[in-house]
Amino acid sequence: MTFAALGLAPELLKAVSEQGYENPTPIQAAAIPVVLAGQDVLGAAQTGTGKTAAFTLPILQRLLRHASTSVSPAKHPIRALVLTPTRELADQVHDSVTQYAKYSNLRNHVVYGGVDIKGQIPALRSGVEILVATPGRLLDHIEQKTVNLSQVEILVLDEADRMLDMGFILDIRRIFNLCRARKQTLLFSATFAPEIKKLADDFMKSPQLVQVERQNSTNESVKQELHPVETGRKRALLAHLIRLHDMAQVIVFTRTKQNADQLSRDLKRDGFAVEAIHGDRDQRARMETLAGFKEGRVKVLVATDVAARGLDISDLPFVVNFELPNNPEDYVHRIGRTGRAGATGVAISLVAPEEEKAFDQIKKLIKKELALIPVPGFSPGTEPLYSPRREERGERGARGERGSSRERDGQRREGVPERAPRRERDADPLAGVVFPSNLPPLPKRPQKQIAALFLPPRPPLPQGE
């Protein structure tokens, strides 16, 4: 089945094609016709199954009749509201809406907490048909009368189970009551706790259950390596492993766009040919980056889960989880990008102590006991033996290049802790000095005798004087 067979409008099909998609995922093929028919939907699907497009595309299709080129805010009331539990997911959904609405006159905006609310108001006042929001910030706007939900036709709850875990259930009920009674409701959740079922009973009309099976198996041709490391030393370990395995082509996964950009900048400073790809980069930049990666000009591609879903790269030898994903299914999707078509691949994961819960969820999902194998010099609680720049200096030395005296000294003193910066040493000259705790007390002496202890000895007098 193709997207065209689902009856989507030409402007939507054009946007979908530009994203590199031809065939819908199982959740998209099942949900899109139901949403287009105007029915309420209970979607049992996890992140990574394509569920965002499963509701975004049919929502846009249903709202195309309201598209207007008018600049009047009255012509652009909020007609679709998408609620997400976190700002990261809100950004991802907003990116998806923006991409697919590219050739329509439908406006969209995103609001969430953690940023100045004043900066979000101008776009709201100019009018938007589709609003993506976190519950708390949406209620802030409602209290300030910068948002009106009276004309909402479609309400979406994305990752409802996470909203429940985060304590948003009362906020969600309040938002439901602020919308008009006659609306289409789409609720997506990985699990359906009693509170979510009660919410569906109270606010949904004969919802259709749409579900896909959880993907919980990993390819046997993929070798999984997991290494424990503290968060602050992940980049050094990543650089070490890239050089150790001589990785000529590797995708490195991060959880957020900000982390992808930061890691890309850091690896560039370490001398790697690296680029980041995520939803904030425009289509042209993403295509150029992907072309460079396929042609070998870019060796390391740092990506978020959302951006990587549209990538089609054959014979990818390495995948690295710089950060474990929030959802264990994403781990399966990530490492499934290597070891395809009978080829072998290596999936490396860097696991920090605070990621233990995510690690346990992954093992539970794939029903395998994964061992954490320490890398010498990088185990949590040990002194660092490597740094990206030190390894780079070592490579230059091996090639016969002469570095500065400081670099050569760094090569001779491999593994020896570096001295603290001068400013730090001057601030506390006794820093790091260990004093015995069992010294006897100093004897009481007259003040002159004490002063004499710190004076140099007097030279001996000449004989005969």
Closest by CA position to 315, among listed 346, 286, 276, 278: 346
Which letter does DSSP use for residue 6 in this model? G
Same domain, 97 and 42: yes
Q: How many independent structural domains does the chain possess? A: 2
DSSP codes, 46-111: -TTSSHHHHHHHHHHHHHGGG------GGG----EEEE-SSHHHHHHHHHHHHHHTTTSS--EEEE
- The larger pLDDT score, comparing residue 113 to residue 433, is at 113
pLDDT value for 211: 85
Q: What is the pLDDT of residues 37-76, one digit of tens each?
A: 999 999 987 666 788 999 999 999 999 999 887 777 788 8
CB 193 within 8 A of CB 164: yes
> Do 200 and 84 belong together in one domain?
yes
**With contact defined as beta carbons under 8 Å apart, do 225 and 375 qualify?**
no
Q: Are residues 16 and 97 in the same domain?
A: yes
Looking at 321, 353, 383, the residue that finishes a domain is 383
pLDDT of residue 181: 86
> Domain residues for 318?
222-383
* pTM of the complete model: 0.57
Is residue 186 domain-resident? yes
Tell me: do 54 and 88 sit in the same domain. yes
189/264 same-domain check? no
Q: Is the pLDDT of residue 396 over 60?
A: no
- 196 with 234, same domain: the answer is no
pLDDT of residue 315: 77
What is the rounded distance in angstroms from the CA atom of residue 285 to the CA atom of residue 276? 10
CA–CA dist 288, 180 (Å, integer): 45
Task: Determine, yes or no, domain membership for 71.
Answer: yes
The residue that leads in pLDDT, 66 or 400, is 66
pLDDT over 90 (residue 404): no
* 274-277 and 300-303 strand pairing: parallel
In this structure, are residues 93 and 158 in contact, taking their beta carbons and an 8 Å threshold? yes
Residue 412 has pLDDT above 80, yes or no: no
Residue 308 scores a pLDDT above 50: yes
Q: Give yes or no: residues 8 and 104 share one domain.
A: yes
For residues 165 and 283, membership in a common domain is answered with no
The per-residue pLDDT for 47 is 61
Average pLDDT over residues 178-192: 90
Contact 345, 318 (CB under 8 A): yes
- The verdict on residue 455 lying in a domain is no
The residue among 348 and 400 whose pLDDT is bigger is: 348
Note whether 206 and 237 are same-domain residues.
no
Sequence-separated (6 or more) residues with CB below 8 Å from residue 113: 87, 134, 136, 137, 140
Give the model's pLDDT for residue 291: 87
Query: 196 with 306, same domain?
Result: no
Q: What is the CATH number of the domain that holds 50?
A: 3.40.50.300
Specify the DSSP element, H or E, that contains 275.
strand 274-277
Q: Which of 44-58, 203-217, 398-412 has the lowest mean pLDDT?
A: 398-412
Residues 92 and 229 in one domain: no
Q: Is residue 273 part of a domain?
A: yes
On the question of pLDDT at 336 being above 80, the answer is: yes
User: Domain check: are 266 and 163 in the same one?
Assistant: no
Domain final residue, candidates 365, 383, 401: 383
